[in-house]
Protein backbone atom coordinates (compact mmCIF):
# COMPACT_ATOMS: atom_id res chain seq x y z
CA UNK A 1 0.00 0.00 0.00
CA UNK A 2 1.46 3.33 -1.06
CA UNK A 3 1.80 6.04 1.54
CA UNK A 4 0.25 9.40 0.75
CA UNK A 5 2.64 12.00 -0.62
CA UNK A 6 4.07 14.61 1.70
CA UNK A 7 1.90 17.69 1.76
CA UNK A 8 3.21 20.61 -0.25
CA UNK A 9 4.95 23.19 1.90
CA UNK A 10 2.81 26.16 2.75
CA UNK A 11 3.64 29.30 0.84
CA UNK A 12 5.20 32.07 2.89
CA UNK A 13 2.76 34.89 3.58
CA UNK A 14 3.28 37.91 1.38
CA UNK A 15 3.30 41.45 2.66
CA UNK A 16 -0.12 43.12 2.48
CA UNK A 17 -1.07 45.78 -0.05
CA UNK A 18 1.67 47.89 -1.57
CA UNK A 19 4.22 46.57 0.94
CA UNK A 20 4.34 43.60 -1.42
CA UNK A 21 5.93 45.92 -4.01
CA UNK A 22 8.78 46.58 -1.58
CA UNK A 23 9.14 42.89 -0.75
CA UNK A 24 9.19 42.02 -4.45
CA UNK A 25 11.70 44.76 -5.26
CA UNK A 26 14.14 43.72 -2.52
CA UNK A 27 13.83 40.10 -3.64
CA UNK A 28 14.79 40.92 -7.24
CA UNK A 29 18.35 40.46 -6.01
CA UNK A 30 19.25 37.13 -4.41
CA UNK A 31 22.27 37.89 -2.21
CA UNK A 32 23.90 34.45 -1.82
CA UNK A 33 24.25 33.50 -5.48
CA UNK A 34 24.28 37.24 -6.33
CA UNK A 35 21.67 36.94 -9.06
CA UNK A 36 19.56 39.86 -10.15
CA UNK A 37 16.17 39.85 -11.88
CA UNK A 38 16.89 43.42 -12.98
CA UNK A 39 20.25 43.09 -14.78
CA UNK A 40 19.36 45.52 -17.54
CA UNK A 41 16.97 48.32 -18.50
CA UNK A 42 14.64 45.97 -20.41
CA UNK A 43 14.15 43.83 -17.28
CA UNK A 44 13.48 46.93 -15.18
CA UNK A 45 10.92 48.18 -17.68
CA UNK A 46 9.10 44.82 -17.70
CA UNK A 47 9.14 44.56 -13.89
CA UNK A 48 7.66 48.05 -13.43
CA UNK A 49 4.99 47.57 -16.12
CA UNK A 50 3.94 44.14 -14.79
CA UNK A 51 3.24 45.70 -11.39
CA UNK A 52 1.37 48.67 -12.81
CA UNK A 53 3.99 51.13 -11.56
CA UNK A 54 4.62 52.72 -14.97
CA UNK A 55 2.82 52.69 -18.30
CA UNK A 56 4.35 51.13 -21.41
CA UNK A 57 5.09 54.61 -22.73
CA UNK A 58 6.80 55.68 -19.51
CA UNK A 59 8.80 52.45 -19.43
CA UNK A 60 10.21 53.27 -22.85
CA UNK A 61 11.71 56.46 -21.42
CA UNK A 62 13.76 54.63 -18.78
CA UNK A 63 17.51 54.29 -19.20
CA UNK A 64 20.69 53.16 -17.49
CA UNK A 65 20.58 55.94 -14.88
CA UNK A 66 17.10 54.78 -13.85
CA UNK A 67 18.34 51.21 -13.49
CA UNK A 68 21.15 52.41 -11.20
CA UNK A 69 18.65 54.52 -9.23
CA UNK A 70 16.34 51.55 -8.65
CA UNK A 71 19.26 49.28 -7.66
CA UNK A 72 20.45 51.83 -5.08
CA UNK A 73 16.90 52.29 -3.77
CA UNK A 74 16.46 48.52 -3.52
CA UNK A 75 19.62 48.07 -1.45
CA UNK A 76 18.66 51.01 0.79
CA UNK A 77 15.31 49.30 1.40
CA UNK A 78 17.12 46.05 2.23
CA UNK A 79 19.19 47.95 4.84
CA UNK A 80 16.04 49.52 6.33
CA UNK A 81 14.43 46.09 6.59
CA UNK A 82 17.45 44.91 8.59
CA UNK A 83 16.66 47.65 11.09
CA UNK A 84 13.17 46.13 11.44
CA UNK A 85 14.91 43.29 13.34
CA UNK A 86 16.25 45.80 15.83
CA UNK A 87 19.62 46.26 14.12
CA UNK A 88 20.97 49.82 14.16
CA UNK A 89 19.52 52.00 11.44
CA UNK A 90 21.83 52.36 8.43
CA UNK A 91 21.98 56.16 8.24
CA UNK A 92 23.26 56.17 4.65
CA UNK A 93 20.29 54.00 3.58
CA UNK A 94 17.87 56.29 5.41
CA UNK A 95 19.48 59.31 3.74
CA UNK A 96 19.09 57.73 0.29
CA UNK A 97 15.41 56.97 0.93
CA UNK A 98 14.89 60.50 2.25
CA UNK A 99 16.57 61.91 -0.86
CA UNK A 100 14.16 59.88 -3.01
CA UNK A 101 11.27 61.31 -0.97
CA UNK A 102 12.52 64.81 -1.74
CA UNK A 103 12.72 63.95 -5.43
CA UNK A 104 9.19 62.51 -5.68
CA UNK A 105 5.69 63.78 -5.03
CA UNK A 106 3.14 62.42 -2.56
CA UNK A 107 -0.09 64.11 -1.65
CA UNK A 108 -3.07 63.29 0.54
CA UNK A 109 -6.17 62.31 -1.43
CA UNK A 110 -9.59 62.18 0.27
CA UNK A 111 -11.91 59.56 -1.22
CA UNK A 112 -15.73 59.61 -1.55
CA UNK A 113 -16.16 57.94 1.83
CA UNK A 114 -14.04 60.57 3.56
CA UNK A 115 -11.00 58.34 3.98
CA UNK A 116 -7.55 59.70 3.27
CA UNK A 117 -4.68 58.02 1.51
CA UNK A 118 -1.34 58.99 0.05
CA UNK A 119 -1.45 59.49 -3.70
CA UNK A 120 1.80 59.36 -5.67
CA UNK A 121 2.30 62.22 -8.08
CA UNK A 122 4.62 62.81 -11.00
CA UNK A 123 5.23 60.32 -13.74
CA UNK A 124 7.34 57.34 -14.63
CA UNK A 125 9.94 56.18 -12.16
CA UNK A 126 9.33 59.15 -9.85
CA UNK A 127 5.68 58.07 -9.43
CA UNK A 128 6.67 54.41 -9.00
CA UNK A 129 9.11 55.23 -6.19
CA UNK A 130 6.60 57.65 -4.65
CA UNK A 131 4.07 54.81 -4.50
CA UNK A 132 6.57 52.60 -2.67
CA UNK A 133 7.44 55.42 -0.26
CA UNK A 134 3.71 55.93 0.34
CA UNK A 135 3.45 52.22 1.15
CA UNK A 136 6.14 52.62 3.82
CA UNK A 137 4.35 55.60 5.39
CA UNK A 138 0.92 53.92 5.33
CA UNK A 139 2.31 50.65 6.70
CA UNK A 140 4.07 52.50 9.51
CA UNK A 141 0.75 54.07 10.53
CA UNK A 142 -1.00 50.68 10.26
CA UNK A 143 1.70 48.95 12.29
CA UNK A 144 2.74 46.57 9.50
CA UNK A 145 5.99 48.23 8.37
CA UNK A 146 8.10 46.64 11.14
CA UNK A 147 6.89 43.20 10.07
CA UNK A 148 8.57 43.50 6.67
CA UNK A 149 12.11 42.27 7.29
CA UNK A 150 15.06 40.63 5.63
CA UNK A 151 16.43 37.32 6.80
CA UNK A 152 18.92 37.73 9.66
CA UNK A 153 21.27 35.36 7.81
CA UNK A 154 23.56 37.85 6.03
CA UNK A 155 24.20 35.27 3.30
CA UNK A 156 20.48 35.27 2.55
CA UNK A 157 18.92 38.70 3.31
CA UNK A 158 15.67 37.62 1.59
CA UNK A 159 12.70 39.91 2.31
CA UNK A 160 9.78 38.27 4.08
CA UNK A 161 6.68 39.34 5.97
CA UNK A 162 6.72 38.32 9.65
CA UNK A 163 3.30 37.07 10.74
CA UNK A 164 4.47 35.68 14.08
CA UNK A 165 2.37 36.80 17.05
CA UNK A 166 5.02 39.08 18.53
CA UNK A 167 6.82 39.92 15.24
CA UNK A 168 10.02 38.27 16.50
CA UNK A 169 10.81 35.97 13.58
CA UNK A 170 14.41 36.39 12.43
CA UNK A 171 14.75 33.99 9.49
CA UNK A 172 12.98 33.85 6.15
CA UNK A 173 12.80 30.08 6.72
CA UNK A 174 13.37 28.35 10.02
CA UNK A 175 13.90 25.06 8.18
CA UNK A 176 16.76 26.45 6.09
CA UNK A 177 18.33 29.67 7.39
CA UNK A 178 17.27 29.19 10.99
CA UNK A 179 18.63 25.65 11.20
CA UNK A 180 21.84 26.64 9.39
CA UNK A 181 22.47 29.41 11.92
CA UNK A 182 21.64 27.18 14.89
CA UNK A 183 24.18 24.67 13.58
CA UNK A 184 26.80 27.43 13.22
CA UNK A 185 26.24 28.56 16.80
CA UNK A 186 26.43 24.96 18.01
CA UNK A 187 29.75 24.40 16.23
CA UNK A 188 31.09 27.73 17.49
CA UNK A 189 30.36 26.67 21.08
CA UNK A 190 32.41 23.52 20.48
CA UNK A 191 29.50 21.15 20.00
CA UNK A 192 30.75 19.75 16.72
CA UNK A 193 31.89 16.14 16.77
CA UNK A 194 35.67 15.76 16.38
CA UNK A 195 36.82 14.97 12.86
CA UNK A 196 37.95 11.38 12.30
CA UNK A 197 41.53 10.85 11.18
pLDDT band at 9 (very low <50, low <70, confident <90, very high): very low
Is pTM beyond 0.85? Reply is no
Could you tell me the residue ranges of all domains in the chain?
19-147
Residues 6+ apart with CB under 8 A from 150: 26, 78, 81, 82, 85, 156, 157, 158, 159, 160, 172
The pLDDT of residue 192 is above 90: no
Q: Which CATH code, of 3.10.20.30, 3.30.360.10, 1.10.3300.10, 1.10.260.40, is assigned to 19-147? A: 1.10.3300.10
Query: Rounded mean pLDDT of the chain?
Result: 86
* Residues 81-140 pLDDT 10s: 999 988 999 999 999 999 999 999 999 999 999 999 899 999 999 999 999 999 999 999
Beta strands at 106-110 and 35-36: parallel, antiparallel or unpaired: unpaired
Evaluate whether 115 touches 184 at the Cβ level (below 8 Å): no
d(CA 96, CA 76): 7
Amino acid sequence: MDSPPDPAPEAEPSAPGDLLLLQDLVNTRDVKPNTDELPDVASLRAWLVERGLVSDGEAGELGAADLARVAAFREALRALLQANHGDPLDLAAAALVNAEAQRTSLRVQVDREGGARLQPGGRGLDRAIARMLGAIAAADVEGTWRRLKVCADSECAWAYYDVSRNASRAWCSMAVCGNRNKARRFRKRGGAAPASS
